[in-house]
Structure 1
């Protein structure tokens, strides 16, 4: 056996510097993941606050909330507005690929033309996929005819989905700007309204979306867990370094045995074998 085959393991500063560098990288990754969870928690908390402040607040005039046709502020999401106008029933659309309660369906969009001629796109609710060959809703309820008073909750317009196509009378997202542009009239393009009530009311209505849950989820727990993982990595490194130092202080002939994995007691092995035979 050559001298190189019996060379003792490297325990110097180069080895432990490499271990330290790996630990630092792991801890930084844990810190970034923890920061991401904190950011997600902050976003959820802000959404919960908007729901609490706006969802059941007294309705306001739409031009008070949206001073310009393309205006939108996320802080106004779920704000209730009072609208007076006439539904443009012939311009109704179905938004594809909408899920409610785990079931696929559509959202029914109908432009509402206000008394001053401007248009607000209104989401009247959700309709399930029907049993027909075209997978359309079996029934599409009609909005009230003539003048109608609508209380709606505002939501931000959705972006256009490039490359997505839809059959006539359908649309892939609530891309309000495209809907208003196709109508050829002035209208609000930064937001749309989700029906809270209509007067006069109709007997059949699409299913209303449930109130958003005001729950922060597990983001705080996950953020703390990632911090704990980063701290434990340094604790583990320190423990390994201390163990290596203690082993290095032993006589050379005892170091190999100290580093070897601990074997279980022979009696325990016999007992395990007996239990395995009994289970069989």
Structure 2
């Protein structure tokens, strides 16, 4: 069994099964778990009245445990220029998403996602309605920082533009210190444009994909074991037949024919596995 073919096959199957169990299956199962948790938070957010923003933030302004997608209410004023999120379509429509700093009554500030506007000619910024002035009370859903995108911000068409929603990065652009999460406005709120639609409460096929990777990780070594067993069984059968032929030749049977017809031992894997070049050679010899 220690032939190069079997050894290479065993190594490849071992590597595949290892990644199926340690990376591929956990990746899909983790995505399913995250979606289930998200859906539970969204459902719970609409089962009761919005909570004060301060109750869902940590002392340092960070997002509290399990607070993402919470529905919160905040009072303050829009302070600062609009920053646009680029290259993020909404329902397949080329769009610019509008991010605006919002200063709370207690002096802290948070980034507010005011919604989106349709891009003109797919790349041009349309007229954007300004945020209202003065004190307002807004309701939205807390969202986690997406992190800083590898592409640096740019200034184009009169706006600073970013590639991800990172309150820290936006705060650096507008010169304000913003809380870690951001607030995504719901419809009919002061300053909202076209509100970002909430995600569908479904998990997709991630659970079935995860279970499939587990099944593949089990089936691959099981198949290898089966083929090893089949090959070993065929080897034993071939050896037993050869021993039986040797015993028959030495058991006192009538002497051999002085002019025996040429014969060959049975192929281990049947005539279908015989060498076609050898068959051609045999035919030439018979002629």
Q: How do 1:42-61 residues align onto structure 2 when only pairs under 5 Å count?
A: 42-54=33-45, 57-61=48-52
Rg larger in structure: 2
CA contact (8 A) 1:95 1:109 kept: yes
Measured after TM superposition, the shift of residue 126 of structure 1 is 1.0
- What SS class does the counterpart of residue 266 from structure 2 fall into? helix
Residue 137 of structure 1 is matched in structure 2 by: 125
140, 150, 165: which is aligned to 1:152? 140
Residue 39 of structure 1 is matched in structure 2 by: 30
Separation in 2, partners of 1:21, 1:111:
55
Measured after TM superposition, the shift of residue 101 of structure 1 is 1.0
The TM-score normalised by the length of structure 1 is 0.73
Separation in 2, partners of 1:177, 1:104:
25
Residue 67 of structure 2 is matched in structure 1 by: 76
Measured after TM superposition, the shift of residue 150 of structure 1 is 0.6
Which is worse superposed, 122-131 or 108-117? 108-117
Separation in 1, partners of 2:271, 2:215:
28
* Unaligned 5+ runs, structure 2: 243-264, 275-287
Provide Cα deviations, 1:34-87, integer angstroms capped at 9, x if missing partner.
233222222222222222223554211122111434312351111122112222
- What SS class does the counterpart of residue 254 from structure 1 fall into? coil
Count of aligned positions:
243
Cα distance change of structure 1 residues 100 and 85 upon mapping to structure 2, 3 Å threshold: same
Residue 87 of structure 2 is matched in structure 1 by: 97
Separation in 2, partners of 1:25, 1:218:
25
- Which 4+ residue blocks in structure 1 deviate beyond 3 angstroms? 19-26, 178-185
1:254 partnered with 2:266: yes
Separation in 2, partners of 1:94, 1:56:
32
The TM-score normalised by the length of structure 2 is 0.72
Cα distance change of structure 1 residues 156 and 259 upon mapping to structure 2, 3 Å threshold: farther
Residue 222 of structure 1 is matched in structure 2 by: 209
Residue 154 of structure 2 is matched in structure 1 by: 166
Which is worse superposed, 15-24 or 33-42? 15-24
Please tell me the root mean square deviation across aligned C-alpha atoms, in Å: 2.9
CA contact (8 A) 1:55 1:153 kept: no
